């Protein structure tokens, strides 16, 4: 997770989080360390315990949708809107086992389900079946309080919300690699929900300007909400399609938002829409082959606009949360061929592995790329005993590898303009 205030507060935050976990009923007194990343002082690491294979299965079952299931694996409780079905006579106070319907085949209100389901853990029902599926409409609020989740990773809702922002490690690395400086003008082309946007602003000490764009209005509202929560004033968020962010004609005087003139930004972050194959936890992959292959052309359209909006001497960072060659190394090879003004740059910090072969990039360029490979992590789970016996160095080493799949490429723009054919796909 990212840590936003001055480092002098770090020890107090660590001690507070340690107390939070010590008092959490799921941990039952287990001591969970809060660790500072050895290379990135604004990151706190908390080990995740699991998967736990010794949990009992209760006769009373609750089936939740896939999205709710992902949230539970990340530490959330089950809220009523996420419940698809329950056992026939479930009432408030019952011990229940919670499962995820990963194929979406369970009918709402069913009394039993024999389809494909994944065990998420056990909890206590806060409401009865009749309340959940009553004729007057569904209720809201907490449905199942998880007491024995498969993964011990408690929710951070309302835990120091003005000081901490929960992110995956590679997402935090992105902002450090882009390395924004106070007073600069930064563009985050696909910003929602705002984790990287707010981190960039914090690294700039809230001095300068961070323009955040997303084409979905509700997501832009989330960016604004996070910026306000973290009290960051330099962020300006706009609902706009990044592929159309380059102004084709002269702008009106005083126009603040997109589209922007060419060479408007010191640094550009393109955390591109992608197939998301690196995301974890992931119990099923719903995209068709056609949907997966649709991302590469979109990424190139966004990339072409990003190059035009970047000032000469500026930095462009391209990242995805997927593992495919087509959306990562092939895009780098295409960019270097299409835009002679771009050069690959070393990355600091370089925590992940180098790029993958197969896209025609020479070894020296592959070493400049940063790829986080989820398969590099040990498949063995961590139980409470392992956690107590592990040394801090072992936990820190595991944290760098046991993360989502991710890709980062850093480019510098020379003094020449983008190639004439830069918009070609």
Tell me how far apart the alpha carbons of residues 160 and 155 are, in angstroms, rounded to a whole number.
12
Compute the distance between CA of residue 43 and CA of residue 10 in angstroms, rounded to an integer. Answer: 10
Alpha helices in 160-263 (DSSP H): 169-178, 195-203, 217-229
* Helices and strands: H and E segment counts in the chain: 12, 18
Q: How far apart are CA 214 and CA 306, in angstroms?
A: 14
**Cβ atoms of 36 and 11 closer than 8 Å:** no
- Rounded Cα gap, residues 146 and 22, in angstroms: 16
DSSP codes, 80-138: GGGEEEE-TT--TT-EEEEEEETTS-PPTT-S---S-EEEEEEEEESS-HHHHT-TT--
Q: Please, are residues 422 and 339 in contact by the beta-carbon 8 Å criterion?
A: yes
Q: Does residue 387 sit in helix, strand or coil?
A: helix
321 among known catalytic residues? yes
Name the residue with tokens 């930064």. 186
Structure tokens at 330: 């092939």
Dihedral angle at the C-alpha atoms of 376, 380, 382, 388, nearest 10 degrees?
-100
Catalytic residue among 68, 190, 274, 321: 321
The C-alpha atoms of residue 139 and residue 66 are separated, in whole angstroms, by 20
Instruction: Kindly list the catalytic residues.
Output: 321
């Amino acid at each position: 997770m990212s840590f936003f205030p001055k480092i002098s507060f770090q020890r107090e935050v660590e001690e507070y989080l340690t107390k939070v976990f010590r008092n959490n009923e799921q941990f039952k007194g287990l001591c969970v360390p809060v660790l500072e990343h050895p290379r990135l002082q604004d990151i706190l690491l908390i080990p995740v315990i699991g998967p736990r294979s010794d949990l009992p299965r209760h006769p009373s079952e609750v089936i939740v949708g896939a999205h709710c299931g992902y949230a539970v694996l990340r530490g959330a409780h089950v809220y009523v809107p996420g419940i698809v079905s329950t056992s026939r006579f479930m009432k408030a106070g019952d011990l229940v086992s919670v499962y995820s319907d990963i194929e979406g085949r369970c009918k709402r209100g069913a009394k039993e389900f024999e389809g494909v389901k994944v065990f998420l853990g056990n909890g206590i029902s806060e409401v009865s079946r009749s309340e959940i599926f009553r004729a007057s409409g569904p209720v809201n609020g907490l449905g199942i309080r998880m007491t024995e989740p498969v993964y011990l990773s408690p929710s951070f809702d309302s835990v120091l919300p003005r000081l901490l922002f929960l992110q995956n490690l590679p997402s935090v690395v992105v902002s450090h690699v882009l390395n924004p400086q106070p007073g600069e003008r930064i563009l985050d082309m696909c910003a929602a929900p705002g984790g990287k946007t707010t981190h960039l602003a914090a690294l700039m000490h809230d001095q300068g300007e961070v323009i955040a764009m997303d084409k979905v209005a509700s997501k832009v509202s989330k960016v604004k909400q996070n910026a306000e929560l973290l009290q960051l004033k330099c962020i300006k968020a706009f609902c706009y399609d990044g592929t159309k962010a380059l102004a084709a004609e002269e702008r009106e005087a005083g126009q603040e938002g997109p589209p922007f003139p060419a060479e408007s930004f010191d640094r550009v972050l393109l955390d591109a829409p992608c197939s998301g194959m690196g995301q974890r936890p992931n119990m099923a992959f719903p995209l068709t082959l056609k949907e997966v292959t649709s991302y590469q052309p979109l990424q190139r359209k966004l990339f072409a606009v990003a190059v035009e909006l970047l000032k000469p001497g500026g930095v462009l960072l391209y990242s995805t949360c997927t593992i495919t060659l087509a959306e990562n190394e092939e895009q780098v090879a295409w960019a270097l061929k299409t835009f002679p003004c771009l050069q690959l740059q070393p990355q600091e910090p370089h925590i992940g592995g180098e790029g993958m072969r197969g896209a025609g990039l020479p070894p020296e360029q592959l070493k400049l790329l940063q790829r986080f490979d989820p398969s590099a992590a040990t498949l063995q789970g961590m139980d409470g005993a392992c956690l107590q016996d592990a040394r801090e160095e072992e936990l820190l080493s595991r944290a760098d590898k046991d993360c989502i799949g991710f890709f980062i490429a850093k480019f510098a723009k020379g003094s020449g303009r983008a190639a004439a054919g830069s918009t070609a796909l």
